[in-house]
Amino acid sequence: MTILAPSDTQALPADWRDFFALTKPRVMTLVIFTGLCGLLAAPGSINPVIGFTAILCIAIGAGGAAALNQWWEADLDAGMKRTASRPLPAGRMQRSDARDFGIMLSAASVVIMGLAVGWLAASILAVSIVYYAVIYTIWLKPRTPQNIVIGGGAGAFPPMIGWVAVTGDVTLMPALLFAIIFFWTPPHFWALALFIKSDYAKVGIPMMPVVRGQASTRKQILAYSILLVPLAAAPWFIGGTGAIYGVTALALSFAFLGLSVPVAVRRSEEGDAMKPEKRLFAFSIVYLFALFGVLVVDRVAAQYGFSW
């Protein structure tokens, strides 16, 4: 099968703000934060300049992959209200410029990571870029309602990259951090997809609520949320963290589960300003920031002798 690249259109000259927008800066804050937390929670130490370089490379690589995602999806983005004002669908940029920008950032991030930090971290970064830009965006997203379940792997790599930048090897702890984000992604995204369902249906993307329906999606959100409870606490169970992390992870995960139940049973009050799925989506972001934040707090506390 031949995959044709989207062609160029007449576009207005883009400025730096459009290039910055191509990196999906708001979404990538959490990607960068989880990468930083992976780096700070890892055993051992790293030269601050090299540590900063590692995080910069995760940011540049994630931004490059996001630019490639938008280069490929310019036509789809034009058909959805949420994405129509992005630089490409709004006609502020040439498609080829977005593609070249994405390739340049991606390549630079991997090479700099390899030379300055290490080639294992660089290889995992390269895999995550290809995973997001090619496996998820080009291959899975238009083909299967399991797109984000499998595609969730792309966004789960950053803490592992941060960890590996310090330790130089992949052990059970970074694998667990990967698994937490991997199983967090379906409830995170399907909660959103439940209230923007019609947008994806319009452009023919087989997102779960469109293909399997709302009831099935709601049940699956609950199933992943249940799984997150033991999984998020697993770093504590295996002795990789102290109780500061473990107890907070359990509290956060039960709160997450508590917000998933009304989504699963469609319980929303008459005149409820914020639907349960909107509430769950918003909390999913707070959840991951807090979970990875407390991972670092736990490690710092242990270093200062505060551990239960």
Ligand X SMILES: CC(C)=CCC/C(C)=C/CC/C(C)=C/COP(=O)(O)OP(=O)(O)O
264 lies in the site for ligand X, by CB under 6 A: no
Min CB(275)–ligand HEM separation in Å: 15
Total number of residues that touch ligand X (CB under 6 A): 19
Name the segment binding ligand X (CB under 6 A); options: 37-45, 60-68, 209-217, 280-288: 60-68
Among 120, 285, 296, 302, binds ligand HEM (CB under 6 A): 285
Q: Which does 69 bind (CB under 5 to 8 A by kind): ligand X, ligand HEM, none?
A: ligand X
- What one-character DSSP code corresponds to residue 206? -
- Both tokens of residue 12? 């207005």
Q: Which does 253 bind (CB under 5 to 8 A by kind): ligand X, ligand HEM, none?
A: none
CB 144 within 8 A of CB 206: yes
Q: Which ranges in the chain belong to alpha helices (H)?
A: 16-22, 25-41, 48-72, 74-78, 95-116, 119-130, 147-156, 158-167, 172-195, 197-202, 208-211, 214-237, 243-264, 276-303
133 lies in the site for ligand HEM, by CB under 6 A: no
34 lies in the site for ligand HEM, by CB under 6 A: yes
End-to-end distance of the chain based on CA atoms, in angstroms? 57
CB 174 within 8 A of CB 163: yes
Among 21, 31, 116, 257, binds ligand X (CB under 6 A): 31
Instruction: Centre a 10 Å sphere on the Cβ of residue 84 and count the other Cβ atoms it contains.
Output: 12
128 lies in the site for ligand HEM, by CB under 6 A: no
Residue listed under structure tokens 């130490």:
45
295 lies in the site for ligand HEM, by CB under 6 A: no
- What one-character DSSP code corresponds to residue 92? S
Closest CA to 45 of 306, 301, 299, 293: 299
Q: Which does 30 bind (CB under 5 to 8 A by kind): ligand HEM, ligand X, none?
A: ligand HEM
Min CB(128)–ligand X separation in Å: 4
30 lies in the site for ligand HEM, by CB under 6 A: yes
Among 65, 181, 205, 244, binds ligand HEM (CB under 6 A): 181
57 lies in the site for ligand X, by CB under 6 A: no
CA distance 269 to 45: 50
Total residue count of the chain as it appears in this document: 308
Min CB(224)–ligand HEM separation in Å: 13
Scan residues 203-262 and list those touching ligand HEM (CB under 6 A). Answer: none
65 lies in the site for ligand X, by CB under 6 A: yes
CB 125 within 8 A of CB 111: no
Q: Which does 192 bind (CB under 5 to 8 A by kind): ligand HEM, ligand X, none?
A: ligand HEM
Scan residues 45-74 and list those touching ligand HEM (CB under 6 A). Answer: none
- Both tokens of residue 82? 């949420």
CA distance 234 to 224: 15
Total number of residues that touch ligand HEM (CB under 6 A): 20
Residues that bind ligand HEM (CB under 6 A): 24, 26-27, 29-31, 34, 82, 136, 148, 151-152, 155, 181, 185, 188-189, 192, 285, 288
